Chains A and B, each alone.
Chain A
Amino acid sequence: MPSCSTEPGKASIDLKKININADQEALLAEIAETIIPENDKLGAKELNLHLFTLKMVDDCHNEEDQKAFMEGLNSMDKLAKSKYGNAFAKCDPGQRIDLLNAVSKEEGAAKEAAAFLKITKRRVIQGFMNSKYVMTDLKKYELVPGRYNGYFPAKQA
């Protein structure tokens, strides 16, 4: 059943330039989660990396990028259906990763989402590596190092 047949709700964050509804937001969350899934460590959805991506696309990308982002996002369900007969969110994890690989390799019709995926992957990774979770629980960001050693043993790094 086409997901856009119902009245779409609004996105959960305020955006100034791009127009995103709740369904598109949910789809982006699934794509982000496919890029960085939850396993023994938190994943993209839990860390709201899809919302970070939207914020960055809205504020820090030009109109051309924003247009490519929207077109690519909107093509993802169509691509998933033509390949697996299901909307992206209904595909199994293996299918999702295969689809993203096809998009990033610009295979056939998947090419139209390549620019979208490039932006999204970049921003999801950036949001993940710069999240409070990663910077405090997984890797330690030091605001005040108080030292510099130019001969630090690589083995201890």
Chain B
Amino acid sequence: MPEITGDSIKDRTFDAIVIGSGISGGWSAKELTEKGLKTLLLERGRDVKHIKDYPTTNKLPYEFEHRGEVPLDIQKEAPIVSRCYAFREDTLHFFLKDKEHPYVEQKPFDWIRGYQVGGKSLIWARQTQRWSDFDFEGPARDGFAVDWPIRYKDIAPWYSHVEKFAGISGNRDGLAELPDGEFLPSYPLNAVENYFKEQVNKNYKNRHIISARGAHISKPQQVHFDQGRGQCQNRTLCQRGCPFGGYFSSNASTIPWAEKTGNLTLRPFSVVHSIIYDEQKGKATGVKVIDANTKQEIEFYAKIIFVNAAALNTNLILLNSISKRFPNGLGNDSDLLGKYVAFHNYSSTVSGEYDGMKEFTTDGRNPVGGGYVPRFRNVFKQETDFLRGYAAGFSARRSQDTDSSGFGDALKENLLNPKLGPWRVGSHMMGETIPKATNFVMLDKNLKDAWGIPQLSISVDYDDNDQKMIKDYEDEFSEMFTKSGFTNVKVSRTQKAPGLDIHEMGGVRMGNDPRTSLLNKWNQLHHCKNVFVTDGACMTSTSTQNPSLTYMAFSARSADYAFAELKKGNL
């Protein structure tokens, strides 16, 4: 029997429970509390209060003992997160120690997690693009996974809803394959990024270089001031947490907003063990939590439950939610729970140099990084020997030529007077991967973590389609660079394990048919209607867009539906 704390059941009963306080859970909590529902927001890690808990945010480079480098002893304790680009001396407190949170890698998988209030919304790369119907119709057209139960028109108003609140910078580019949104002013392309855009326009049809769209407040609106957020100050130190609230995070935005309603109870250090299913009522009644510090079991109850634990942990919680009715995991009649996991293929980069435009350089910093190349492969029709395609980031910056040869006065003089070198250009691919039953997560039968919860066992890998796509990206971008007059064009395969893209998705996919999917078009478990999954676990396919914006939109849309259903007495 679980040991119950002294709190009465009444104190542990809410209208809604949201599991996870990251980018999607923050949105679920905001929407539900705004509608007047008493909402418990559970977070397995510690609390991180906006500004107050950003210890490094205003530190100068020389105030870091190792000038930003992560000491080797810390890397040894965290070999997996150490491979993440954002894991630096100024941000390491927002990553977990791998050794404390073990999982089983049937195949290499770099699982990057942020166990704290705000989750990975503190440390994300802030790129935000809408999906189009070319993405939602992908599985049906190309014959993989299952058909998405929604189309662009279903989610478009919810994209608008979350964009206005979060603050998204971008241009209205008028591209069918990358719908425009509710944009704040864009961060314009620089001289060579624009030059590349013109060259590509000249040399290709249907290939576009646009300003990257990102969750940065380039020009604050009243709704941002109301959140206590201000204009992005181009620090590009975002992963430390932003004292201006210049980029979107749960901590700066949705959670304080939810708190202001008076309807939010935030409980950090709450590791969710499972969702409690009531056989008589035929629905979920609450969640079983292990207190992260005391290891005590506590149950919380609610009418509706939103699972936003981040894609793979949402799978874990559902797989671990065992009952007589659901012996294989909550809602898992189809036996597809944990399967059809996919991710984004970031396996290659192409770089080069440009000798022109030397009359220009850049000044200040671009918080969204530069340009974005929407997917151009297989968009309007199938045209290659692989399915789907890739988007890419593209950026250019003027290099500094520092002569660091020799020793003494001459060296010192050279270091302090670098010359502007040629422009350096670079791109990285973001490929769609095809969800497959053979890419899956499951519970390990024997191994448990420190809280007595089975460890997740991950078996996810690239396939032949991915390899062909990598080659195509390399060939196409090398050609696009060469045609633009870039020199020293180099391809670099990064050999990243899946996971390091931090875009893992699926396992609890949406679909029309309960026999071939777990969630319906409202992100509601087909077989347990008061449980909603609106994080990456719900994704039927991955497309090429950075996924967070879509999770935000799903969360808001689903919360709206759940509230309406609750009022109708259907849940």
Shortest beta-carbon distance from B497 to chain A in Å:
22
Given contacts A56-B69, A59-B71, A126-B67, A149 and B363 within 8 Å (CB-CB): yes
Given contacts A143-B58, A147-B234, A59 and B361 within 8 Å (CB-CB): no
Residues of B within 8 A of A135 (CB): 60-62
Q: Does B225 contact A (CB under 8 A)?
A: no
Residues of A within 8 A of B190 (CB): 150-151
Residues of B within 8 A of A152 (CB): 360-363
Shortest beta-carbon distance from A92 to chain B in Å:
12
Chain A residue total in the interface (Cβ 8 A): 46
Q: Which of A43, A135, A142, A154 has the most CB of B within 10 A?
A: A154
Question: Which single member of B61, B66, B362 contacts A55 (CB below 8 Å)?
Answer: B66
CB within 8 Å of B: which A11-69 residues: 34-37, 39, 41, 43, 55-56, 59-62
Given contacts A34-B408, A134-B416, A148 and B66 within 8 Å (CB-CB): no
CB within 8 Å of A: which B408-467 residues: 408-409, 411-412, 415-416, 420
Contact check, A101 vs B358: say whether CB atoms are below 8 A apart: no
> Closest chain B residue to A34 by CB distance?
B407
Shortest beta-carbon distance from A132 to chain B in Å:
5
Give Cα A149 to B363, complex, Å: 5
CB within 8 Å of B: which A115-142 residues: 121, 125-132, 134-135, 138-139, 141-142
Given contacts A130-B62, A132-B62, A135-B60, A148 and B233 within 8 Å (CB-CB): no
Give Cα A121 to B412, complex, Å: 12
Give Cα A143 to B233, complex, Å: 9
Q: Does A2 contact B (CB under 8 A)?
A: no
Contact check, A130 vs B233: say whether CB atoms are below 8 A apart: no
Give Cα A155 to B398, complex, Å: 13
Shortest beta-carbon distance from A28 to chain B in Å:
14
Give Cα A104 to B360, complex, Å: 36
Q: Which of A56, A60, A138, A148 has the most CB of B within 10 A?
A: A148
Question: Which single member of A61, A126, A132, A138 contacts B416 (CB below 8 Å)?
Answer: A138
Q: Does A109 contact B (CB under 8 A)?
A: no
Contact check, A144 vs B233: say whether CB atoms are below 8 A apart: yes
Give Cα A136 to B498, complex, Å: 42
Q: Does A146 contact B (CB under 8 A)?
A: yes
Give Cα A56 to B71, complex, Å: 8
Shortest beta-carbon distance from A67 to chain B in Å:
14
Residues of A within 8 A of B235 (CB): 143-145
Contact check, B363 vs A59: say whether CB atoms are below 8 A apart: no
Mask, B453-486, CB within 8 Å of A = 1, is: 0000000000000000000000000000000000
Give Cα A62 to B71, complex, Å: 10
Q: Does B200 contact A (CB under 8 A)?
A: no
Give Cα A139 to B61, complex, Å: 13
Contact check, B415 vs A129: say whether CB atoms are below 8 A apart: yes
Question: Which single member of A100, A128, A142 contacts B407 (CB below 8 Å)?
Answer: A100
> Closest chain A residue to B367 by CB distance?
A148
Residues of B within 8 A of A134 (CB): 416
Q: Does A153 contact B (CB under 8 A)?
A: yes
Residues of A within 8 A of B188 (CB): 150
Q: Does B364 contact A (CB under 8 A)?
A: yes
Shortest beta-carbon distance from B247 to chain A in Å:
14
Contact check, B71 vs A143: say whether CB atoms are below 8 A apart: no
Given contacts A59-B71, A150-B190, A150-B193, A93 and B364 within 8 Å (CB-CB): no
Residues of B within 8 A of A150 (CB): 188-191, 193-194, 360, 362, 366
Contact check, A154 vs B67: say whether CB atoms are below 8 A apart: no
Contact check, B408 vs A97: say whether CB atoms are below 8 A apart: yes
Q: Does A4 contact B (CB under 8 A)?
A: no
> Closest chain A residue to B243 by CB distance?
A144
Contact check, A37 vs B412: say whether CB atoms are below 8 A apart: yes
Give Cα A43 to B412, complex, Å: 9
Give Cα A143 to B235, complex, Å: 6
CB within 8 Å of B: which A85-129 residues: 93, 97, 100-101, 121, 125-129
Shortest beta-carbon distance from A53 to chain B in Å:
12
Contact check, B364 vs A148: say whether CB atoms are below 8 A apart: yes
Shortest beta-carbon distance from B405 to chain A in Å:
9
Residues of A within 8 A of B61 (CB): 130, 135, 141
Q: Does B406 contact A (CB under 8 A)?
A: yes
Question: Which single member of B66, B364, B367 contacts A60 (CB below 8 Å)?
Answer: B66
Q: Does B1 contact A (CB under 8 A)?
A: no
> Closest chain A residue to B65 by CB distance?
A55
Question: Which single member of B66, B194, B366, B412 contacts A36 (CB below 8 Å)?
Answer: B412
Residues of A within 8 A of B398 (CB): 154, 157
Shortest beta-carbon distance from A157 to chain B in Å:
5
Give Cα A152 to B372, complex, Å: 21
Give Cα A121 to B404, complex, Å: 10
Contact check, A148 vs B193: say whether CB atoms are below 8 A apart: no
Give Cα A100 to B233, complex, Å: 44
Question: Which single member of B62, B73, B407 contacts A35 (CB below 8 Å)?
Answer: B407
Question: Which single member of A128, A129, A157 contacts B363 (CB below 8 Å)?
Answer: A157
Give Cα A126 to B187, complex, Å: 31
Contact check, B409 vs A145: say whether CB atoms are below 8 A apart: no
Contact check, A148 vs B408: say whether CB atoms are below 8 A apart: no
Residues of A within 8 A of B69 (CB): 56, 60
> Closest chain A residue to B236 by CB distance?
A145
Shortest beta-carbon distance from A46 to chain B in Å:
13
Contact check, A154 vs B233: say whether CB atoms are below 8 A apart: no
Q: Which of B191, B367, B408 has the most CB of A within 10 A?
A: B408
Given contacts A60-B69, A146-B364, A37 and B409 within 8 Å (CB-CB): yes
Contact check, A125 vs B360: say whether CB atoms are below 8 A apart: no
Q: Could you list some 24 contacts between A and B, CB below 8 A?
A: A34-B408, A35-B407, A35-B411, A55-B65, A56-B69, A59-B66, A60-B72, A61-B72, A97-B407, A101-B406, A121-B407, A134-B416, A135-B62, A145-B234, A147-B234, A148-B364, A150-B189, A150-B191, A150-B360, A151-B190, A152-B360, A153-B361, A154-B420, A157-B361
Top 6 A-B residue pairs of the complex, sorted by shortest distance between their CB atoms: A150-B190, A152-B363, A147-B364, A59-B71, A148-B364, A145-B364
With A36-B415, A150-B190 already in contact, 11 other A-B pairs whose C-beta atoms are closer than 8 Å: A37-B412, A60-B70, A97-B406, A135-B61, A143-B235, A143-B237, A144-B233, A145-B233, A147-B363, A150-B193, A151-B191
